[in-house]
Structure 1
Amino acid sequence: MRSVGVEEELLLVDPRTGEPQALSTAVLAIAARRNEGRAHAFTKELQGQQLEFGTSPRTAMSDLAAEIERCRGEAARHAAEAGAAVVALATSPLPVAPALNDGRRYRWIREHFGLTALEQLTCGCHVHVSVGSDEEGVAVLDRIRPWLSVLLALSANSPFWQGHDSGYSSYRSRVWGRWPSAGPVELFGSADRYHQQVSDLVSTGVLQDEGMVYFDARLSHTYPTVEIRAADVCLDASTTVLVAILARALVDTAAREWREGEPPARHPIGLLRAAAWRAGRSGLDDELLHPLTMRPAPAERVVQALLGHVEAALDDNGDLAHAHKALADLMGGGTGAHVQRDLLRRYGTLRAVVAECVRRTQEGVG
C-alpha cells in the first residue's frame, strides 16, 4: 500500500480582528522551544502570515487523520502563545498587506517577481504519494492530469480576496496561476523528458531553482513521491483526508493503467486550463468539465465519475466506504467556499467568518 503525506499551509490571524498577522518567525521559535530543539512539523513559507506543517508518510488514513488533527492542534497552541490564531483558509477574507519572510531566497523572489510575490498570500494543500521509481511517477503524472481539476473543486476554500467576494470558489488557484511555472502540464512520456523540461525551465533563469517548478502535480525533488498540488487548504480536516484518499487512489489507478499499457488521455493544456478555471470559479456549485470528455457536466456527475474511475483502488486500500461517506457529507454540506459565503450571510461580517473558521480549523477530523 502506498504511503501518503500531507502538507498544509495555514493563515496566522489576530484572534480578535481576524486580520492576518506576520508572526511565523515567533511561532516557529515557540515550536522549536517546545520541542527542545528537535525536529518538528512546522516550517515558514513565503509570507510571514503563513505557517506550514507536513505529516509523516502514512499508509492508514486513520493515522493520517490523527496526525493532521495533532498538527493543527499544535499549530493553534504555538500561535496562541505568540498572540495569534491559525485558520485553514486559502486566502484571507479581510484586507491584508502580505509581509515576505526574510532570507536570500525570498528576497530573490521579491526582486524578480514584483507584485506577483508581494500579493501572493495563498494557502494550499499538497499531497505526497509514494511511487516506486521516476518512470512510474511520470507515468502517473501523465495519467492524472484530467482529474486534478476535480480535486480543486472539492477543496475550494477561497471565495474572498482583499475584503471582497471574488466571484470564485477558489480564487487562490487564480492568484497562484500568476507564477510562470504553475498549472497543468503537457504529457511527458518518460522520466528523461520530465527531468529535461525541469532542467530547461531552471536554465532559463526565470526560476531560481527546481523548488519553483510549481506544476499542479510533479515529482518531489525531496522525497520518492508524486506531489499533487492542485488543492486549496481545506477548512475541515476531514476534507483534507478525503483529498488524500482520492489522490492515492488516482496514483494507484494511473500506475495500474501504465503497467497494463493503457495510454494517457491526450487533452491539450488549453482544455486542462479551462477545466481548472471552471473548477476554481464554481467549486461544486455549478457545472465542471468532465475529465473524460472535457465538456460541461453537473458537478455531482463529475464527482461520481472520479469515484468510479478510482473505485477499484479505493477498495483495495480499504478506503471505499470512507470515500463514499466523506463525498456525500461534502456534497451535502458544501465546500469551504460555500461555507464561508453562508457564514457571511448568517453573521454579516468577514471578521465573524474568520472567527468561525478559526473554530472549525481546530475541530477534530473524527
Structure 2
Amino acid sequence: MDREAHLASDGPAVTDEVSDPPGQVEHELRTCQVESATEVQTTVEEVTHGLRELRNGLAAEAATRELRLLPSGVPPLAEDRTLAFTPSPRYQRMAGEFGAVARSALTCACHVHVAIPDRATGLAVSNRIRPWLPVLLALTANSPFHDGDDTGYASWRHVMWGRWPSSGPPPHFESEDHYESLVDAMLRTGALLDRGMVYWDIRLSEHQPTLEVRISDVAATVEEAGLLAVLVRGLAARAMDEGDAPDGKAGPPPELLRAMLWRGARDGLSGKAVDPEDGDLVPAWHLVDRLVEQVRPHLRQAGDEDFVREVLDRLRQTGSGADRQRAAFARRRQLTDVVDALAWQV
C-alpha cells in the first residue's frame, strides 16, 4: 500500500528485488500482492523466525518505494481503480475465464503444509481435520473491513474466496480414486483450469509430499501464523496416530460444514461457533480450548505447548486480528488508523 493507504501495483517489482530470502517470495494473482513462504521447518521458532525475515525483507524493499506491507485478508479501504493482474500467462487466462470472480479475488490467506507419508494418508488426515476448519478460521480471522466499510464479518476474505467454483470445504473422501475422480470431473467442467486451482480448504499438494490446510486469513503477526502451524501439525499428528482406525461418522456433510464456516467467518473469536459434535452454538473460545486439549500430547511432544499457551493468552487479552482492526478503527473511526496498526514494521 502507498502512504495514503491505497493499493500499489509494485508487488512484482518488490519481489524481484528481494534477494536471497530465507524461503521464497513470489508474484501473486494481482500486482498489489506478494507471496512469501518459509523453507521446510520443524520447530515453531524456525517458522516464526523465517516469516519475520521474509516480511522484513519485503517491507524494507517496499519502503524504498515509499510503500508499506499490509498483512490483512482483504484491503480495508475503497479503491477508485482496479489493479492489474500480474502479467503471467496463467494469471491472464484465469482473468479471462473467470471474469468478475477473478477481479474480485483480492484476498490474502495463510496456508500450512504438513508432511504426509503418502496421498492416502493425507486424505485420511483431511477427513479427520475438516470438522475443525471453522475453529481454525475463527482463530485466524483478520479481515473485517473491505471497500471502506465494516462488513459485519471477522473474515470477509473467506466469504470473497467462496466465489471461486472450486473453493469451499472438502468432502469426506472415501479413497484416492474418489479424490481424483472429483478433480478430473471439475477439470472437465472448466471450474478448474489446472490442478493448482483445486481451492478446497484442505487439499493434497501437487508438487510436494504434503497436505495443505488453506482455511485461514493471512496472519497479522508471525506468532499467530506459528500458532496456526503448530495446531495444524498437532491435528495431523493426532490423525496419523489413529492410523487405520475407522473414521467413525464421516463428519459434517459439506453443506453443513459450509454453514459452520460461515459462522466462523462471521463471529471469529468474539462470538459463537458450531460444536462439531452436536451442532449447538457455543462460545468460539470453548472450541479453541477443546481443540488444544485434543492435540496437547502432540504439542507437548514437539515442545510447542508453552508457545501455544502464551499466544492464546495474548489473544484472549487483545482479541484476534479482526478484533484488533476494529479496536483501531473505534478510536477515531478512521480506516487509515487500521492500516497504520497493521502495517509491518521493520
Say which SS state the counterpart of residue 86 (structure 1) adopts.
coil
Q: Unpaired runs of 5+ in structure 2?
A: none
Against the structure 1 CA distance between its residues 331 and 98, is the aligned structure 2 distance closer, same or farther, given a 3 Å change threshold? farther
Q: Distance in 2 between matches of 1:71 and 1:85?
A: 14
- Quick check: 1:47 aligned with 2:34? no
Q: Give, in whole Å, the separation in 1 of the partners of 2:90 and 2:15.
A: 18
Q: How far apart in 1 are the matches of 2:107 and 2:257? A: 22
Aligned twin of 2:84: 99
Is the CA contact 2:128–2:247 (under 8 Å) kept in the aligned structure 1? Answer: no
**Residue pair 1:284, 1:334 contacting (<8 A) in 2 also:** yes
State TM-score, norm by structure 2. 0.95
Moved more, 317-326 or 121-130: 317-326
Query: 1:345 deviation in Å?
Result: 0.9
Q: The residue matched to 2:93 in structure 1 has which SS?
A: helix
Alpha-carbon distance in 1 for matches of 2:158, 2:247: 30
State the 4+ residue runs in structure 1 displaced beyond 4 angstroms: none
Equivalent position amino acid for 2:239 in 1: A
- Kindly report which structure 2 residues correspond to 1:1-366, keeping only aligned pairs within 5 A, or say none: 13-14=1-2, 16-31=3-18, 34-35=19-20, 41-96=24-79, 97-263=82-248, 265-358=250-343, 361-362=344-345
Q: Matched residue of 1:251: which SS?
A: helix
Change over 3 Å in CA distance of 1:157–1:39 after alignment to 2: closer
Quick one: distance in 1 between partners of 2:298 and 2:114? 14
- DSSP 3-state at the match of 1:277: helix
Q: Would you say the 8 A contact 2:23–2:38 is kept in 1?
A: no
Counterparts of 2:87 and 2:41, CA distance in 1? 33
CA apart distance, 1:192:
2.4
In the alignment of these two chains, the number of paired residues is 344
**2-side partners of 1:266 and 1:173: how far apart?**
21
What is the alpha-carbon distance in structure 2 between the residues aligned to residue 270 and residue 250 of structure 1? 23
Long gaps (5+) in structure 1:
1-12
Q: CA deviation at 1:196?
A: 2.1
One-letter amino acid of the structure 2 residue matched with residue 323 of structure 1:
V
Partner amino acid, structure 2, of 1:92: P
Quote the RMSD (CA, aligned, Å).
Answer: 1.6
Amino acid at match of 1:70: E
- Normalised by the size of structure 1, how large is the TM-score? 0.90
CA-CA distance at 1:222 after TM superposition: 1.1
Q: Deviations over 1:315-335 (max 9, x none)?
A: 221212211221121122101
Distance between the aligned counterparts of 1:292 and 1:134, measured in 2? Answer: 27
State how far apart, in whole Å, the 2-side matches of 1:102 and 1:345 are.
39
Shifted more, 238-247 versus 310-319: the winner is: 310-319
Deviation at 1:264, TM superposition (A): 5.4
Q: Return the letter of the residue paired with 2:61.
A: H
Give the conservation status (yes or no) of the 8 Å contact 1:142–1:264.
no
Provide the C-alpha distance between the structure 2 equivalents of 1:104 and 1:323, rounded to a whole number of angstroms.
Answer: 42
**8 Å Cα contact 2:22-2:50 kept in structure 1:** no
Alpha-carbon distance, 1:241 to partner: 0.5
- 1:286-340: per-residue Cα shift (whole Å, max 9, x none)? 1101122222111121111111221222122121221122112112210111001
Structure 1 residues 239 and 264: CA distance shift in structure 2, 3 A = farther
Give 1:28 shift.
2.2
Matched residue type, 2:212: E
CA distance in 1, matches of 2:247, 2:160: 35
Counterparts of 2:202 and 2:36, CA distance in 1:
19
Identity of aligned residues (%): 36
Aligned residues of 1:98 and 1:121 also touching (Cα < 8 A): no
